[in-house]
Amino acid sequence: MKRILLIEDEKNFARFMELELQRELFQVTVAADGQSALELALNESWDLILLDLMLPIMDGIEVCKRIREVKKMPIIMITARDSVTDKVSGLDSGADDYIAKPFAIEELFARIRVVFRRLEEQQEEQRTLLVSHDLSVDVEARIVMKNGAEIELTKREYGLLETLLKFANRVLSRDELLDKVWGYDAAVDKNVVDVYVRYLRNKIDSPGQPSMIETVRGIGYVIRK
C-alpha cells in the first residue's frame, strides 16, 4: 500500500481528499500546517506528498524546498490559484507536478499515476543499467557494452565489475571484493583480486587512458562515477 502525506489546511477539503485517496487504496496521513508537515515529511518515509501551496506557519513553496534539500520522493503541488507564477515557483521549488483547485479528483489520480509510473521507470533504469563513462552494464541481461560494442567477460570478471559499479565511489578492500565476488567458500589468495582486476582492466580500459578501476594503495579498488 502506498503512503501519501496530504498537506492541506482546509479541513473539509482535506477530509474529502483523504476519503477519496483511501478509496483508491492509498494510506493517507493529513498534516494541516507547514511546520508539522515538514517534520512528518522528513522523519517518515512516503511514496508521495500532496502539498497545498497556501499553508499556515510555512507556505508550500518553502516546505517543498526544505524537503528537496534532503529527500527525493515525488511531490505534487496543489493550489487554489491557477497562475503561471505559482506554477513556475512550485516547479522551481522542486515539485514534480502541479494541479490547480478546483480540480476533478480523477484528474489528480491521473497525475498521481503518471508520477508513480515515471518513478518506476527511473528505478527500472537504475536497476538494469550501471554506467560509468563509456561503459554500460545491463545487470539483468549481464551484458557489458563499451562504446556500443559488447565486451565478453568471464563470470568472475563480470562479478568484479558489477560489484565495483554497484558500490561506485566507495573503495572496496581486497577482502570485501573476495567476499562479494568469490563468496565465503573462497579459500583463495587475496592476490587473486589483483589478478582479476588486471584481466578486467585489459578488457574494459581504453589504451593510453587512465584505468577505469582506480587502485587505492594499501586499501583496495574503486570505480569513480
- Residues lying near Ca ion in the complex (CB under 5 A): 9, 52, 54
What's CA 161's distance to the chain center, in Å? 22
**Closer residue to Ca ion, CB minimum distance, 32 or 114:** 32
Would you say 58 and 38 are in contact if contact means Cβ atoms under 8 Å apart? yes
> Would you say 31 or 135 has its CB closer to Ca ion?
31
How far is it, in rounded angstroms, from Cα 188 to Cα 193? 9
Of the two residues 95 and 160, which places its CB atom closer to Ca ion in the complex?
A: 95
- Least Å distance, CB 43 to Ca ion, is 22
Minimum Å gap between C-beta 169 and Ca ion is 42
- φ/ψ (deg, to 5) at 206: -95, 140
Instruction: Provide, rounded to whole angstroms, the least separation between the CB of residue 105 and Ca ion.
Output: 17
Q: What is the CA radius of gyration of the chain?
A: 24
Rounded to a whole number of angstroms, the minimum distance from the CB of residue 75 to Ca ion is: 16
CA 120 to chain centre: 10
Q: What's the min distance (Å) between Cβ of 55 and Ca ion? A: 6
Q: How many Cβ atoms from other residues are within 10 Å of residue 37's Cβ?
A: 28
Given a contact cutoff of 8 angstroms between Cβ atoms, the answer to whether 42 and 70 are in contact is yes
CB 85 within 8 A of CB 32: no
State the nearest-atom distance from the C-beta of 53 to Ca ion, in Å.
7
Unique residue bearing C-alpha cell 499556515: 56
Least spacing, CB of residue 78 vs Ca ion, in Å: 8
61 vs 178 by CB, closer to Ca ion: 61
Q: State whether the Cα torsion 202-207-211-212 is positive or negative.
A: negative
Q: Which is nearer to Ca ion, 32 or 151 (CB)?
A: 32
CA 64 to chain centre: 17
Question: Cβ-closest residue to Ca ion?
Answer: 54
Residue 12 or 169: which CB sits closer to Ca ion? 12
Report in angstroms the alpha-carbon separations of 177 from 68, 104, 142, 167, 219: 34, 54, 19, 11, 11
Nearer to Ca ion, 89 or 204 (CB): 89
